[in-house]
Amino acid sequence: MVPAVFFRDGHKATIVPVQYMYMNIFGAGNAVTERNAGYGASIGIVLCLCVVLVFTVCNLLIKDDDLEF
């Protein structure tokens, strides 16, 4: 079985969330697509919340009180 990453067609390739957000805001480039800035902005907010959540969990689990600078 061939992974989806090796296909050249856009609809068969793996899409990361940031690429999906970019395509929703600015369109797919070579194809006629609907641009939806609100949907892209909501994807950006969800990604930002995920990053903040991971950062907070890492700071709670890893204590850096013993480090000297």
Q: Which of 50, 49, 41 is nearest to 20 (CA)?
A: 41
* Residue 32 covered by a domain: yes
pLDDT per position as a tens digit, 8-56? 555 567 788 888 888 888 877 766 677 888 888 888 899 999 999 999 9
- Domain count along the chain: 1
* Residue 68 covered by a domain: no
* Residue 66 covered by a domain: no
Block residue for tokens 């090796």 = 6
pLDDT at 2 over 60: no
Domain of residue 45: give its range. 4-61
Helix (H, G, I), strand (E, B) or coil at 46: helix
Is this model's pTM higher than 0.75 or not?
no
* Residue 13 covered by a domain: yes
* Residue 43 near residue 21 (C-beta atoms within 8 A): yes
Measured from the Cβ of residue 41, the count of other Cβ atoms closer than 10 Å reads 13
pLDDT per position as a tens digit, 56-65? 998 888 877 7
